[in-house]
Amino acid sequence: MTKKLVVVILAVVFGVGMVMLAFMDYSPSNKPSKSVATQPAGAQPVANDEFTFDESSLPSVIVSVNGVEIGKEVFAKIIRGLKKQLSMRGQKLTKQAYETAKGEILKNIINAELLMQEAKAKHYTVSDEVVNARLDKMKTQYGSEEKFLADLKRQGFTIEGLKKQMRKGLTINKMLDAELYVKVNVPEEKAKEYYDKNRKKFDQPESVKARHILLRLAPDADADTVKKVKAKMDEIVQKLESGGDFAELAKKYSEGPSSLKGGELGFFSKGSMVKEFEDVAFAMNPGDKPTVVRTRFGLHLIETLDKKEAGVSSYQDVKAKIFKELSYENKTKLLQEHIADSRGKAEIKVFM
């Protein structure tokens, strides 16, 4: 199973869709984020046929963790969310991918339940104020509550359902921060040693900084659908040429994850995007008129904001990034050891 597929699975263990990425089950806090520049490209499409998921074939209880039974609806919801996430990346959930993902999903459901049971036993809680504050932040990132609620509905969530899953993720991370991650310390000499041993890793290829507005359009869309999407993009272009703000238009109209940041994709090098997208972005210069291009994901209105020549980053330039990466590695190791110990003491039964 690819690393990207694992990330998608983690994203849906506590919920479905992009809206939950900030609360990926028990992932270590302060995980170094991946550049959103890879989002339009997604992964390469899978050639095999899509797997037909039959929820009725599942046992009513999929696992039992220390006597706590978890019903099939949890697994089914994750699979539905996984299929949606893969679809957004131009992929299909094949039979082979499903069989591989199934074990990963069950493992993460069990691990999450073990950690939540531990947090409850140690009396960790998260207040309504904390949950509501995080929810308000998410709404703000969407640009409007209307867009947030529409995305929530499309992903099969209610506000209360979302808050429940958010509370679980925040409670687990609160416990891990206090009990486990407090032990993590990265000495300066370790960071410098890592830099010296991995100089090539910090070579910087030519890169561009761009933003885009995406209107989704399937590669096999019929002529009428193509015409409607193109007409909508023409309207957006007209609004922009009439003085509209690109970032605000992206927040309002873009159907890609980067809409939350006004279409910003950050810096990316060649090979990060689908070819049609990066060909345009690299050909343009900062200040050039935004250009529309079609990829397998739909129509993109692209604007190149900045360019960087190839070079090598100094230690000072990447010091903070190295500390974050080494800290995350240490947290991950501690977490894996902690979970292994918890699983060894737990009574776990799997029924599928």
pLDDT digits (tens, 9 = 90+) for 240-261: 999 999 999 999 999 988 988 8
Helix, strand, coil proportions of the chain in percent (round to 5)? 55, 15, 30
Q: How remote is the C-alpha of 97 from its chain's centroid?
A: 19
Identify the pLDDT of residue 88.
66
Of 50, 63, 45, whose CA–CA distance to 297 is shortest?
A: 45
pLDDT category of residue 229 using cuts at 50, 70 and 90 = very high
pLDDT in tens, 10-19: 443 433 333 3
DSSP-assigned states of every residue in 271-290 = TSS-HHHHHHHHHS-TTSPP
Q: Which has the higher per-residue pLDDT, 50 or 268?
A: 268
Task: Please say if the pLDDT value at position 232 is more than 50.
Answer: yes
- Per CATH, the number for 3-185+322-350 is 1.10.4030.10
Res 78: pLDDT: 84
Q: Which among 21-25, 77-81, 288-292 has the top mean pLDDT?
A: 288-292
Residue with the two structure tokens 């290829």: 205
What number of other Cβ atoms are within 10 A of residue 13's Cβ?
A: 27
Q: With contact defined as beta carbons under 8 Å apart, do 72 and 61 qualify?
A: yes
The C-alpha atoms of residue 301 and residue 277 are separated, in whole angstroms, by: 10
What span, in angstroms and rounded, lies between the C-alpha atoms of 288 and 305?
A: 9
Q: What is each CA distance from 198 to 18, 191, 204, 207, 333, in whole angstroms?
A: 33, 11, 13, 20, 21
Instruction: Say if pTM beats, i.e. exceeds, 0.85.
Output: no
Per-domain boundaries in the chain? 3-185+322-350, 206-309
Instruction: State the pLDDT confidence band at 155, using cuts at 50, 70 and 90.
Output: low
Q: Does residue 45 have a pLDDT over 60?
A: no
Place of tokens 């240490």: 330
In the prediction, which pLDDT does 41 show?
Answer: 41
What is the fold, at CATH topology level, of the domain defined by 206-309?
Answer: Chitinase A; domain 3 (3.10.50)
